Amino acid sequence: MPQRYPVIIITGTPGTGKSTHAQLLQDASPVPLNHINVGQLVKDKGFHHGFDQQWESYTVDEDKLLDELEPLASAGGIILDWHTCEMFPERWADLVVVLRCNHTMLWERLEKRNYPLKKIQENNEAEIMEVVLQEARDSYPQQIIVDLKSESSEDLENNVANIVEWINQWLKDNKEDSQ
């Protein structure tokens, strides 16, 4: 049976660097990992119930999305990149990375994206209140959750290097389990 590779969920408030981390991790990984930007997948495949003008985002059809992702997650070797994680079944995740950012810095990042003020305020409040981190803690075993600061290019480099280290250890641990 071929070696299965891990499923890594990278989550965090919008603007914390999820897609950048996921892309760099895909490039640096010692094994092939497919980066899935879940928000883009929702748009591309129409896995939504329409566009919410007030929040300037799609209302996700979770059933369609999960049906699409189930075989990919079962096979392993993916990085799921999305602003929430609680909908992904616990059995999928080998590692859940929650990216965190100083709320002032986050505000500036979201302004640069031209987010409407209401959306910036909501996301900033979510970051301050640790909403995404709490979702992860409520949804997955504590030992697979890592909370990483994502404020500088140095943080980015260190985070990716640490996740690559984790992948190497995961591969060793799971190779031994399969023997």
Q: What is the dihedral of CA 168, 173, 176, 177, to 10 degrees?
A: -140
Strand arrangement, sheet containing 145-149: 34-37, 76-81, 5-12, 95-100, 145-149
Minimal CA–CA distance to 17: which of 99, 113, 111, 130?
99
CB-count burial class (<10 Å; 0-12, 13-18, 19+) for 61: middle
Quote the radius of gyration of the chain (alpha carbons, Å): 16
Chain-centre distance for alpha carbon 162: 16
Query: Do the annotations mark residue 15 as ligand-binding?
Result: yes
19 in a labelled binding site: yes
| 34 bridge partner residues | 78
Q: Is 18 annotated as a binding residue?
A: yes
DSSP state of 2: P
The alpha carbon of 3 is separated from its chain's Cα centroid by a whole number of angstroms, namely 23
Question: Which residue in this structure is represented by tokens 């984790």?
Answer: 166
Q: Per the annotation, does 20 bind a ligand?
A: yes
Query: What residues are designated binding site for ATP?
Result: 15, 17-20, 113
Query: What residues are designated binding site?
Result: 15, 17-20, 113
